[in-house]
C-alpha cells in the first residue's frame, strides 16, 4: 500500500515541476503558459521541496509497514516487439512535449499527432493494438471532465468568478508571504471540493492579465497542483489512479486517502510556498 500511495502523491507533488506535467497547468495559464526555462526558474525549487517533503512525510507515516517484507512473486516477463515500440513511443511523446514547451509552441496538437502516429505504427506489429488501446482508455472520465467545465460556467453565472476576483484583489494588499500561502492553501482546499481543473479555470479568469506573472499566480498554481493530495477527487491523476487500482481489484477508500493526505499535503505545500 505505501508504494501505491507513493504513485498518487508524487504524481501530484511533481506536477508543477514542468509546464507539461499537469493538464491543470495548461488550463490555468492557457496561451500565457511560460516556456520551459522561465518555468524552471520559478518552479524548480518549490517542486523539489514538495517532492522531498512528500517522500519524507510518507516515509515517516508508513515506517512500520515498510519494516515488513514483500514476497518475491514476480514473474520473468519480457516485452514483446509491440511493447518495446510502445516504450519508445512514450519516450518520443515526452520528447515532443519538452521540445514544444522549450520553444513556446502549442502542446495539444503535436502530442495528439504523435500519439496517433505511434499507435498506427505499433498496429503493424500487433493487429490487436487498437482494441487494447480502446479497452485501456478510461472513457468514463471524459463526461466527468466535460461536467467539470460546465461547473465553471455555472459558477460564473452565479457570480463565483467575481467573488474570486474580489478576494484576489484584497490579497494583493497583503504582505507577499502571507498572500502567497493564503492563495496556495485557499486554492488547494477549493481543488478538493470541485476538482483542480475547474478551479484552475476559475483562478485564471480571476487573475485576468496577471496570469503567468506575479506571486499570486505562482502560488495559485502550486495550490491547484499540490492541493489534490488531500482527497481522491482532487485531481484527474488521482481519479485515474483509483480507476487503475479498481481494475486490479484493489480498494482504497476516500477516508484512508484523506488520513494520509491531511498530513502529507499541508507539509509539502507549506515548504513549496516558502520557496
* 269 has pLDDT over 90: yes
Q: Are 270 and 43 a contacting pair, CB within 8 Å?
A: no
**Length of the chain in terms of residues written:** 275
Name the grid cell of 181. 500561502
Confidence of residue 268 (pLDDT cuts 50, 70, 90): very high
* 210 has pLDDT over 60: no
pTM, two decimal places: 0.80
* 77 has pLDDT over 90: no
Which range is least confidently modeled, 43-57, 127-141, 159-173? 127-141
* 67 has pLDDT over 70: yes
Mean pLDDT to the nearest integer, 226-255:
88
Q: Is 1 exposed, middle or buried (0-12, 13-18, 19+ CB in 10 A)?
A: exposed
- In whole numbers, what is the pLDDT of the chain averaged over residues? 84
Which range is least confidently modeled, 66-80, 110-124, 204-218? 204-218
pLDDT score, position 69:
75
Confidence of residue 209 (pLDDT cuts 50, 70, 90): very low
Alpha helices (runs of H) in the chain, residue ranges in sequence order = 2-13, 23-29, 36-61, 81-102, 108-123, 129-136, 141-157, 160-171, 176-194, 196-207, 215-226, 236-247, 254-274
Mean pLDDT to the nearest integer, 160-172:
76
Confidence of residue 169 (pLDDT cuts 50, 70, 90): confident
pLDDT digits (tens, 9 = 90+) for 10-49: 999 999 888 888 888 888 887 778 888 888 988 999 999 9
pLDDT score, position 213:
47
Enumerate residues 6+ apart whose C-beta is below 8 A from 147: none
pLDDT score, position 264:
94
Q: Are 117 and 51 a contacting pair, CB within 8 Å?
A: no
* 133 has pLDDT over 90: no
pLDDT score, position 208:
65
Name the grid cell of 226. 499540490
Q: What percent of the chain shows pLDDT beyond 90?
A: 22
Amino acid at each position: 500500500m505505501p508504494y501505491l500511495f507513493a504513485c498518487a502523491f508524487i504524481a501530484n507533488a511533481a506536477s508543477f515541476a514542468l509546464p507539461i506535467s499537469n493538464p491543470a497547468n495548461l488550463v490555468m495559464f492557457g496561451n500565457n503558459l511560460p516556456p520551459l526555462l522561465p518555468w524552471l526558474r520559478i518552479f524548480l525549487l518549490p517542486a523539489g521541496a514538495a517532492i522531498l517533503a512528500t517522500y519524507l512525510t510518507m516515509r515517516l507515516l508508513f515506517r512500520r509497514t515498510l519494516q515488513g517484507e514483500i514476497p518475491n512473486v514476480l514473474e520473468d516477463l519480457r516485452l514483446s516487439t509491440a511493447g518495446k515500440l510502445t516504450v519508445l513511443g512514450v519516450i518520443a511523446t515526452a520528447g515532443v512535449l519538452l521540445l514544444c514547451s522549450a520553444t513556446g509552441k502549442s502542446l495539444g496538437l503535436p502530442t495528439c499527432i504523435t500519439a496517433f502516429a505511434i499507435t498506427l505504427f505499433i498496429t503493424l506489429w500487433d493487429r490487436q493494438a487498437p482494441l487494447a488501446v480502446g479497452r485501456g482508455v478510461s472513457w468514463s472520465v471524459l463526461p466527468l471532465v466535460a461536467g467539470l467545465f460546465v461547473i465553471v460556467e455555472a459558477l460564473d453565472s452565479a457570480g463565483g468568478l467575481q467573488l474570486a476576483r474580489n478576494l484576489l484583489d484584497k490579497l494583493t494588499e497583503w504582505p507577499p508571504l502571507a498572500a502567497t500561502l493564503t492563495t496556495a492553501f485557499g486554492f488547494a482546499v477549493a481543488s478538493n471540493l470541485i476538482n483542480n481543473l475547474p478551479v484552475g479555470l476559475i483562478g485564471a479568469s480571476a487573475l485576468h492579465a496577471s496570469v503567468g506573472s506575479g506571486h499570486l499566480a505562482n502560488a495559485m498554481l502550486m495550490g491547484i497542483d499540490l492541493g489534490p493530495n488531500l482527497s481522491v477527487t482532487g485531481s484527474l491523476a488521482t481519479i485515474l489512479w483509483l480507476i487503475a487500482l479498481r481494475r486490479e481489484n484493489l480498494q482504497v477508500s476516500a477516508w484512508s486517502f484523506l488520513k494520509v493526505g491531511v498530513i502529507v499535503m499541508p507539509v509539502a505545500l507549506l515548504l513549496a510556498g516558502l520557496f
